[in-house]
Amino acid sequence: MNVSIKDSFKKDAIYSVVSWIALLSLYFIFNDHGIQDIITKVAILGLFAMSLNILIGYLGLIAFGHATFFAAGAYTLGLFLQSDFIIEYNIGSWSIPIALSLSVLLPGILATIVGVICIRLREIYFSFLTLAFQMIFYSLILALVGITGGDQGLMGGFPKPPFLGIDLGIHFHFYAFTTFIVILAVFLMRQIIESPFGYGLRMIRDNHERPAALGFNIRSHQLLAFIIAGSLAGLAGSLQALLDVGAYPEWAFWSKSAEPLFMILLGGMQTFLGPLLGALIFELLNDFVSANTRYYGLILGLVILIFVLGFKKGLLDWIVIRGRKN
Confidence of residue 15 (pLDDT cuts 50, 70, 90): very high
Residue at 222 is within a domain:
yes
Q: Is residue 51 within 8 Å of residue 192, measured between CB atoms?
A: no
Residue 75, pLDDT > 50, answer yes
Tens-place pLDDT, residues 197-206: 999 999 999 8
Residue 263 located in a structural domain: no
Query: Is the pLDDT assigned to residue 179 strictly greater than 80?
Result: yes
In 128-200, DSSP assigns E strands to: none
**Chain centroid to CA 135: how far?**
19
Query: Among 48-52, 59-63, 135-139, 290-294, which is the least confidently predicted range?
Result: 290-294
Looking at residues 170-177, what average pLDDT do you find? 96
Q: Would you list the DSSP string of 241-279?
A: HHHHTSB-GGGGSHHHHHHHHHHHHHH-SSSTTHHHHHH
Q: Does the pLDDT value for residue 3 go beyond 60?
A: no
Question: Who has greater pLDDT, 305 or 105?
Answer: 105
CB 307 within 8 A of CB 265: yes
Distance in angstroms (rounded) separating the CA atoms of residues 259 and 265: 10
Residue 270 lies in a domain: no
Kindly state whether residue 281 falls inside one of the protein's structural domains. no
In this structure, is residue 324 part of a structural domain? no
- CB–CB of 52/63 below 8 Å? yes
Quote the percentage of the chain above a pLDDT of 70: 96
In a domain, 41, yes or no: yes
Indicate whether 295 belongs to any domain.
no
Q: Average model confidence (pLDDT) for the chain?
A: 90
Q: pLDDT for 127-153, tens place per residue?
A: 999 999 999 999 999 999 989 999 999
Is residue 150 a part of any domain in this protein?
Answer: yes
Q: Each residue of 223-261: b (16+ CB within 10 Å) or e?
A: bbbbbbbbbbbbbbbbbbbbbbbbbbbebbbeebbebbb
Each residue's pLDDT tens digit, 233-265: 999 999 999 999 999 999 999 999 999 999 999
Provide the residue range defining the domain that includes 174: 3-253
Number of domains in the chain: 1
Q: What is the pTM of this model?
A: 0.93
